[in-house]
Structure 1
């Protein structure tokens, strides 16, 4: 079993959750716990479980402290029924504002657009494989050349599929910072890390679209709106979180 010194604290907070492609799973507490559960191995509750929950508890503690500083009466008596209802209403209002934010809308539109594109292009890899096989049989290219193109297309297609769902979810998580302004360094790092994750996911998505365009330039018209949306999303996120690009995610940057 890994010692705490071998693990990268909090790496799972800012990753894209694509464990099968990650080179750092052996140093991720979250992945180790998932593997233990999947194989019915005993979990060391004195170490791994506590470490796994510490991050979430720290976030909760800081949020409670923020609420208490804004509502001193909570320190003494706890919330009354009316205060509890008010707090719940505030949470709902914040969630609605986050969902309706222009940046969240851009991310949601991208999810819908890519869903339609993937349905239309569901046979892209199959047709590319047949095309490359035909060219190899005709002696127009070597097997190695064909494999380079097919591998690049497969990676691009898979990345588009993966990040299309991650981008809107993590964008929503990032935008919570706007409704919960804070000077707490821990929380500031947390939200900057989430914003960095979204920006990196967008970068990889754009690179994947460019790969497909390199081999199929005739498909540009069907991609223009998605590429434009990703560029707008990048610009607006960078404006909202100007230090996110510089943030160093533990183990990832």
Structure 2
């Protein structure tokens, strides 16, 4: 794999809808994942097998450390080389220990992205979760009203295109809202200027993707409102929900409207 053609870190700025992306041929992550899937198919591996997943994780981390060391060599920085052998994931030295060693500090459960805001009474997160549930009900209603159109799965059909868009961006919105709050929290507690700069960039990137998701959902629902007059009341209810999310989101993350992602905005 010729790594010279890849755009450094471009996958940090995208919405991960690879089928719609113009940069897959220059995305290292996409090509690594494709390469991994091809190898799994050729070996007839079960990608859900825990042993296979562990091996894939190890290979991904080895690749990451290789790129870090390459970057350090190029920049002529005097850092201690990261050794993959120091971070084997097993019963005695699991992923938690890896995080402790890598970041040189103890990370409590409350400071982890996976547990931060878990079950929290956050109106924006709750609204986005409700939107996801409402979308499922809306889709089931469409299937009952227009079974022929839904079951055909024609990618050129405008109804299917807009449903696919909602099906991608509404779940993504919930995830990105949570991540945005996480980085906002991290930024508020950061004492190191370099870490703060990274946290601010990740906050801007994730909140921007969330904002783009909101805008795309609004456009799709407006289209469906005109396309299916029989369901205008249900479509309008969804539209009102996403507009409410938009208003709160802008108050919480105002930079999302003006931040521009490299290559994508």
Per-residue CA deviations over 1:204-230 (Å, capped at 9, x if unaligned) read 111111111122123111122221121
How big is the shift at 1:175? Answer: 1.1
* TM-score, L = length of structure 2: 0.66
Choose the corresponding residue for 2:166, options 150, 160, 164. Answer: 160
Matches within 5 A, 1:78-227: 87-89=108-110, 91=112, 95-96=116-117, 99-122=120-143, 126-128=147-149, 151-180=157-186, 181=188, 182=190, 184-227=196-239
Match for residue 21 of structure 1?
20
Choose the corresponding residue for 2:248, options 208, 227, 236. Answer: 236
Distance 2:179 2:113 in 1: 14
Given that residues 131 and 170 in structure 2 are in contact (C-alpha distance below 8 angstroms), is that contact kept between their aligned partners in structure 1?
yes
Higher-Rg structure is 1
* CA 1:91–1:228: 2 relative to 1, 3 Å: same
Instruction: Let me know the Cα RMSD of the aligned residues.
Output: 3.6
Aligned residues: 208
* Segment of structure 1 superposing worse, 233-242 or 109-118: 233-242
Given that residues 222 and 239 in structure 2 are in contact (C-alpha distance below 8 angstroms), is that contact kept between their aligned partners in structure 1?
no
Match for residue 3 of structure 1?
3
User: Which protein is richer in helix relative to its size?
Assistant: 1
Distance 2:244 2:220 in 1: 17
* CA 1:208–1:50: 2 relative to 1, 3 Å: farther
Per-residue CA deviations over 1:172-231 (Å, capped at 9, x if unaligned) read 111113322146222111111101101111111111111111221231111222211211
Distance 2:109 2:260 in 1: 34
Given that residues 156 and 212 in structure 1 are in contact (C-alpha distance below 8 angstroms), is that contact kept between their aligned partners in structure 2?
yes
How big is the shift at 1:117? Answer: 0.9
Distance 1:232 1:162 in 2: 19
Distance 1:218 1:53 in 2: 59
Helix, strand or coil at the partner of 1:243: helix
* CA 1:44–1:156: 2 relative to 1, 3 Å: closer
How big is the shift at 1:23? Answer: 1.4
Distance 1:174 1:245 in 2: 14
Distance 2:115 2:19 in 1: 35
Given that residues 8 and 251 in structure 1 are in contact (C-alpha distance below 8 angstroms), is that contact kept between their aligned partners in structure 2?
no
Match for residue 12 of structure 1?
11
How big is the shift at 1:8? Answer: 2.4
> Which ranges in structure 2 are unaligned for 5 or more consecutive residues?
41-58, 71-99
Match for residue 39 of structure 2?
40
* TM-score, L = length of structure 1: 0.69
How big is the shift at 1:11? Answer: 2.2
Given that residues 224 and 235 in structure 2 are in contact (C-alpha distance below 8 angstroms), is that contact kept between their aligned partners in structure 1?
no
Helix, strand or coil at the partner of 2:176: helix
